[in-house]
Amino acid sequence: MSVSVQDYARECAEQGLRGDYSVCRPDFTVEQKYDYSAAEQDVWRTLCDRQTRLTQRLAHKSYLDGMSALGLVDRIPDFHDVSDKLRKLSGWEIVAVPGLIPAQPFFDHLANRRFPVTNWLRTRDELDYIVEPDMFHDFFGHVPVLSQPVFGDFMQMYGEKATDLIALGGDEMITRLYWYTAEYGLMQEPGQPLKAFGAGLMSSFTELQFAVESPDAHQVPFDIETVMRTTYEIDKFQRAYFVLPSFDTLKDAFQNSDLAGIIKRWKGEPPRDPATV
Ligand SMILES: C[C@H](O)[C@H](O)[C@H]1CNc2nc(N)[nH]c(=O)c2N1
Ligand SMILES: N[C@@H](Cc1ccccc1)C(=O)O
Ligand SMILES: [Fe+2]
């Protein structure tokens, strides 16, 4: 693993990220330590209640099916319990991390069917939107689809391929692909209005509504090469949302495009601005 925990911890502290990286193992995992306060449990319940009302209307069926399979979320999840459940449903487990971790160890976890979930929760002042991933985002946004074997298999494949592509210098481009699909993708559903698919949308009360319903949201047809060339910012509403016709489109594009070729062609070229894609 190329990035050391110590170097990364220093970078995160400089950028004002909230996680405590001092207790990380070399693979960036920590113990969950289930010692949440009553106030935190209360924030969790509030988040789940208000967000579930929105996802019923705005989330893609694949996500809602995953949420039903996973079962009720009435208190902060104990990661061991969730892992037991997930292992039976799809062979995945979740591991605790202090927050954002570098791309290489992140994809390495995916390749081994482990999803990193942040061990701290946003505060009452951040119910609508938070600028960095917290436990609510990682759990409520990502974990439901992992319980569905087709998506679970895809995420594992993503992790495996990403490792090779990072070795070619494709770190940024493969991260953008993850960003605009798994985090912020929109997806069509037969006979339905456009739906949200990405986890970054599922966990944000304000951005979920904006991305799907606002006439000001810049919705762009999915094209893998364009996605890989387009920059993003993590701490603002996205300035482009790519629309996937179906999950199969995403899977096909990922399996059958010449990703290494795309990386060679565009590495070192100026990236594209999401506002003008
Ligand atoms: C793949 C891409 O770098 C992406 O932003 C990764 C990086 N590290 C992460 N780390 C955590 N804990 N959670 C995430 O969702 C991600 N996403
Ligand atoms: N903005 C997301 C959290 C998030 C931040 C950065 C990256 C991905 C997700 C939310 O409010 O839930
Ligand atoms: Fe995420």
pLDDT at 11 over 80: yes
Identity of residue 121: L
Q: What is the ipTM of this complex?
A: 0.93
pLDDT in tens, 174-217: 999 999 999 999 999 999 999 999 999 999 999 999 999 999 99
Tokens of 86: 């997930």
137 lines ligand 2 (CB under 6 A): yes
N-to-C CA span, the chain: 34
pLDDT at 65 over 70: yes
Compute the distance from residue 94 Cα to the ligand 1 centre, in Å: 14
Cα distances (angstroms) measured from residue 191 to each of 61, 124, 126? 12, 37, 34
- Run of H or E residues at 105: helix 103-111
What angle separates helix 149-167 from helix 171-178, to the nearest 10 degrees? 160
What angle separates helix 79-90 from helix 61-70, to the nearest 10 degrees? 120
What is the rounded average pLDDT for all residues in the chain? Answer: 95
The DSSP-derived string for 128-140 is: S--SS--HHIIII
Short-list 183, 176, 157, 187, CA closest to 251: 157
155 lines ligand 1 (CB under 6 A): no
Ranking 72-76, 131-135, 156-160 by mean pLDDT, the lowest is: 72-76
198 lines ligand 2 (CB under 6 A): no
pLDDT at 1 over 70: no
Give the dihedral of Cα atoms 179, 126, 49, 66; nearest 10 deg.
Answer: 20
pLDDT in tens, 163-172: 999 999 999 9
**Angle 272-177-2 (CA atoms, 0-180°, nearest 5)?**
105
Tokens of 235: 């701490």
Residue 270's pLDDT is 96
Pairing of strands 93-97, 219-221: unpaired
Distance CA 274, CA 277 (A): 5
237 lines ligand 2 (CB under 6 A): no
Residue 13's pLDDT is 85
- Run of H or E residues at 173: helix 171-178
Give the dihedral of Cα atoms 76, 235, 99, 244; nearest 10 deg.
Answer: 80
Tokens of 264: 């060679």
Residue 73's pLDDT is 82
Residue 241's pLDDT is 98
The Cβ-side half-sphere exposure at 95, using a 13 Å CA radius, reads 19
Nearest-atom index, ligand 1, CA of 118? 12
Q: Which residue has the CA at smallest separation from atom 5 of ligand 2?
A: 132
Give the single-character DSSP code of 181. I
